Amino acid sequence: MAEAAELVIQDLHVSVEGREILKGVNLAVPTGEVHALLGPNGSGKSTLAYTLMGHPKYEVTQGQVLFNGEDILDLEPDERARRGVFLAFQYPTAIPGVSLANFLRMSLKSVTGKDMPILQFRKLVKEKMELLKMDDSFFTRYVNDGFSGGEKKRAEILQMALLQPRMAIMDETDSGLDIDALRTVSEGVNAIRGPQLGVLIITHYQRILNYIKPDYVHVMVEGRIVRSGQLELVEALEAKGYEWIIAESQNSLEV
């Protein structure tokens, strides 16, 4: 069994085209726990997700991102993936002409460095698809080509189940999903969560947290995490929205 790891973000400052978006983010997510990051639009949540995976558009000007004790900020995205970090995109890209089966096999080879025999690979994928209650037809369809929003997100959960990362960052996975698709995707995440997987769910709305219960909840406002807590924090946000916490954070900055 792999030892537990932890994603530790320390005083992270990130700029895009000279404009500072993240202004000192501090956060720790151990494997085996599910953390939710909420906040109003424009607070910097997706910037954090893409920075963690090494998107070149986002310039880190200060701080560290440690994974299992190693600062991963100097690593290329594929190297971060091989370390066990996975990003589920808000808007998965379609790849016409590439079957989901071939895409998954190439992804697995890229992350593990090994080419799994085809029969073993097919058996493994079939097991994961059954776990996620996915139809076998997904196997031969082109990646996200003509997929509904829910199908795109389920395909990403399948990829996550196959690659078995140690830290999964889910950037607004609930975006654009109807209630049935949201429930299906959430059931998939719940099916693969466990002691060797840490999950950071980034979302604007609270509804996904009705299905995926987080261990901890964090709220980001204007590039900073201003409040952390447990499920009662989600309940407060549902009841009162973000206005009270935005006002509270502004008052604390003025003091």
Look at residue 2 in the predicted model and tell me its pLDDT.
47
Distance, in Å, from the CA atom of 54 to the CA atom of 52, rounded to the nearest integer, reads 6
- Which structural domains are found in the chain, ordered by start? 6-93+165-254 (3.40.50.300)
Look at residue 248 in the predicted model and tell me its pLDDT.
82
Q: Tell whether the model's pLDDT for residue 202 goes beyond 80.
A: yes
Distance, in Å, from the CA atom of 48 to the CA atom of 118, rounded to the nearest integer, reads 36
Look at residue 166 in the predicted model and tell me its pLDDT.
94
Among 17-31, 126-140, 141-155, 180-194, the range of highest mean pLDDT: 17-31
Read off the amino acid at residue 102: N
Looking at 86-90, 191-195, 198-202, 221-225, which range is the least confident one?
Answer: 86-90
Look at residue 4 in the predicted model and tell me its pLDDT.
56
Write the DSSP assignment of 162-186 as a string of letters: HH--SEEEEESTTTT--HHHHHHHH
Which ranges constitute the DSSP H helices of the chain?
45-53, 77-83, 100-112, 118-131, 149-163, 179-192, 231-240, 243-254
Q: Is the dihedral of CA 227, 56, 89, 4 positive or negative?
A: negative
Segment 90-115, tens digit of pLDDT: 777 889 999 999 999 999 999 888 88
> How many other C-beta atoms lie within 10 A of the C-beta of residue 75?
17
Beta carbons of 204 and 38 less than 8 angstroms apart: yes
Segment 9-59, tens digit of pLDDT: 999 999 999 999 999 999 999 999 999 999 988 999 999 999 999 999 999
Using DSSP's 3-state secondary structure scheme, residue 161 falls into helix
Look up the pTM and report it.
Answer: 0.89
